[in-house]
Amino acid sequence: MIPITKPFLGDEEAEAARETILSGWVTQGPKVQAFEEAFAHYVGSRYACAVSSCTAALHLALLAAGVEPGDIVITVSHSFIATANAIRFCGAEPVFVDIAQDTYNIDLKNLKKVIAEDCIQRDGKFYFRDYKKLAVGESPLKHMLSQGDESFNLGQVKAIVPVHQMGIPCNISAITEFAREHGLAVVEDAACAIGSEIFQKKKKVWEKIGKPHGDAACFSFHPRKIITTGDGGMITTNKKDFDRQCRLLRHQGMSVPDTFRHSAKQIIFEEYITTAFNYRMTDIQAAVGIEQLKKLETILNKRRELAALYDKLLNDIAQIQKPVIEDTFLPNWQSYPIRILDAKSTSLKHIMQKLLDEGIATRRGIMNSHQERAYRDYRWLLPVSEISRDTVLLLPLFPDMTVQNVEYISIKLHEIFL
């Protein structure tokens, strides 16, 4: 069986974890700090804060960006449901924007349309006009309004969460420029995007996703991603106060880091200065992450070679649309998506079953949060997102794949379509 993906782990990670276990310091400690420093150096950010997952990263970043109960955050439905869930963790509600068909990322025209047509402006701030209609199902707004809370500030648009879907960079430069013009924070969901880059035309340089280009960028180290720590996440930012707030919130609001307290020559009593969370990464995970970062360029090179081979071998299948990548974007190829153009005559499920019968695992296109039970009470009109979920197929792609694996998958796709 050719799996959809496989982590690129070896003896180096196993030995690093073993050494950390035997060191006696296994929770958040010196290895976490070392991983944060290495990660910040790699992406080009001033600060990096390690946490337990990308969901935790998004939650803390949104809180640090000032998102409060009753607020609105604009994002896409076409993403893993954690993107939307993190917004609700803040007591806020997502407003979903449709994606661009070719890039699978937020459509800038639709983003601008939401602000221009669906929002009203008061005192220089933007408010979602129909926020009361969002107060259905599990929305935090429903509880607030049921309690008679019709605060003047309910429905204020505070932030935008663009997603770099499948490691394909979104048009983050244009999004952040638009957000700044309208006084909105930008928290990048870069869960899949470690190693992806964008070309900054004004500066004439390539910059890695995570620099960050907005207020913060959030990454995942789940085994499905480019590098893994088993699970875990990272928040990168260039703002000192932003980083300080994330560090405070990840560790129960404790005023003094464990590393500082345990290494001090005098007794220190910590304080807990705000209600917060246990979103820490362990030193065991961080030790694995340090070794994974060392292999990142090797992983990226292999993924890009395999994606280029897919491009070449599938080029003559008219029923398949390959990924469309602008020349100013360099994806990490966390996934290789193909769009089935004639889905009516050849259903996605049929194709997936045919490939599975031949020992090839695949996945349906990216989910849509608004089609899941927790978010579907409000009737969203997101046709491109819905079509993409139902007509896109993710093919196997991971560093240990061989040229022969890709050739075999290509042969089987040709047998289905030609």
261/145 same-domain check:
yes
Query: Out of 158-162, 265-269, 282-286, 396-400, which region has the weakest mean confidence (pLDDT)?
Result: 265-269
Contact 72, 155 (CB under 8 A): yes
Is residue 5 included in any domain, yes or no? Answer: no
118/262 same-domain check:
yes
Q: What is the DSSP string of 251-291?
A: BTTBSS-HHHHHH-SS-----B-S---B-PPPHHHHHHHHH
In this prediction, residue 68 carries a pLDDT of: 97
In this prediction, residue 232 carries a pLDDT of: 98
Judge whether residue 30 has pLDDT over 60.
yes
Burial string for 153-189 (b: 16+ CB within 10 Å, else e) reads ebbbbbbbbbbbbbbbbbbbbebbebbeeeebbbbbb
Q: What is the pLDDT of residues 312-366, one digit of tens each?
A: 999 999 999 999 999 999 999 999 999 999 766 578 999 999 999 999 999 999 9
pTM, entire model: 0.96
Is residue 6 included in any domain, yes or no? Answer: no
User: Of the candidates 170, 96, 165, which has an alpha carbon nearest to the alpha carbon of residue 134?
Assistant: 96
User: Higher confidence at residue 149 or residue 177?
Assistant: 177
Please name the amino acid found at residue 347: S
Judge whether residue 140 has pLDDT over 60.
yes
Please name the amino acid found at residue 383: P
| Cα 365 from Cα 384, distance rounded (Å) | 12
230/126 same-domain check:
yes
Is residue 1 included in any domain, yes or no? Answer: no
Contact 6, 226 (CB under 8 A): no
77/50 same-domain check:
yes
Q: Which tokens in the block code for residue 92?
A: 């806020």
User: Of the candidates 189, 159, 162, 180, which has an alpha carbon nearest to the alpha carbon of residue 90?
Assistant: 159
Say which residue the tokens 């969002």 belong to. 134
**CATH number of the domain enclosing 390:** 3.90.1150.10
| Cα 303 from Cα 399, distance rounded (Å) | 6
Residue 135 burial (10 A CB sphere; 0-12, 13-18, 19+): buried
Question: Of 151-160, 184-193, 269-278, where does the model show the most confidence?
Answer: 184-193
Q: Which tokens in the block code for residue 47?
A: 């600060």
In this prediction, residue 54 carries a pLDDT of: 98
| Cα 62 from Cα 66, distance rounded (Å) | 7
289/301 same-domain check:
no
| Cα 276 from Cα 20, distance rounded (Å) | 27
290/301 same-domain check:
no
Q: What is the pLDDT of residues 194-220, one digit of tens each?
A: 999 999 988 899 999 999 899 999 999
In this prediction, residue 212 carries a pLDDT of: 87
Q: Of 231, 266, 294, which residue is a domain's last? A: 294
255/343 same-domain check:
no
| Cα 86 from Cα 57, distance rounded (Å) | 9
Is residue 257 included in any domain, yes or no? Answer: yes
Average pLDDT over residues 51-76: 98
404/319 same-domain check:
yes
Judge whether residue 153 has pLDDT over 90.
no
User: Higher confidence at residue 262 or residue 134?
Assistant: 134
Is residue 4 included in any domain, yes or no? Answer: no
308/260 same-domain check:
no
Distance from the Cα of residue 346 to its chain's centroid: 31
**CATH number of the domain enclosing 118:** 3.40.640.10
- Number of structural domains, the chain? 2
By percentage, how much of the chain surpasses pLDDT 90? 90
| Cα 194 from Cα 210, distance rounded (Å) | 8
Judge whether residue 77 has pLDDT over 80.
yes
Average pLDDT over residues 49-63: 98
Is residue 2 included in any domain, yes or no? Answer: no
> Does a cis peptide bond (omega within 30 degrees of 0) precede residue 331?
no
Strand runs labelled E in 227-271: 233-237
Confidence tier at 261 by pLDDT (50, 70, 90): low
Q: Of 247, 276, 294, which residue is a domain's last? A: 294
Confidence tier at 152 by pLDDT (50, 70, 90): low
Please name the amino acid found at residue 374: A
316/353 same-domain check:
yes
Residue 370: Cβ within 10 Å count: 23
Q: Which residues contact 4 (CB under 8 A, 6 or more apart)?
A: 361, 362, 363, 394, 395, 396, 397
In this prediction, residue 270 carries a pLDDT of: 80
By percentage, how much of the chain surpasses pLDDT 70? 96
Q: Which tokens in the block code for residue 110?
A: 């639709």
Is residue 112 included in any domain, yes or no? Answer: yes
Domain containing 60 equals 11-294
| Cα 186 from Cα 58, distance rounded (Å) | 11
Q: What is the DSSP string of 47-114?
A: EEEEES-HHHHHHHHHHHTT--TT-EEEEESBS-THHHHHHHHTT-EEEEEPBPTTT-SB-HHHHHHH
Q: Which tokens in the block code for residue 252?
A: 């129960």
In this prediction, residue 256 carries a pLDDT of: 75
361/397 same-domain check:
yes
248/356 same-domain check:
no
**Would you say the C-alpha torsion 28, 34, 37, 39 has a positive or negative sign?**
negative
Q: Of 263, 294, 325, which residue is a domain's last? A: 294
Residues β-bridged to residue 237? 47
Is residue 256 included in any domain, yes or no? Answer: yes
Judge whether residue 266 has pLDDT over 80.
no
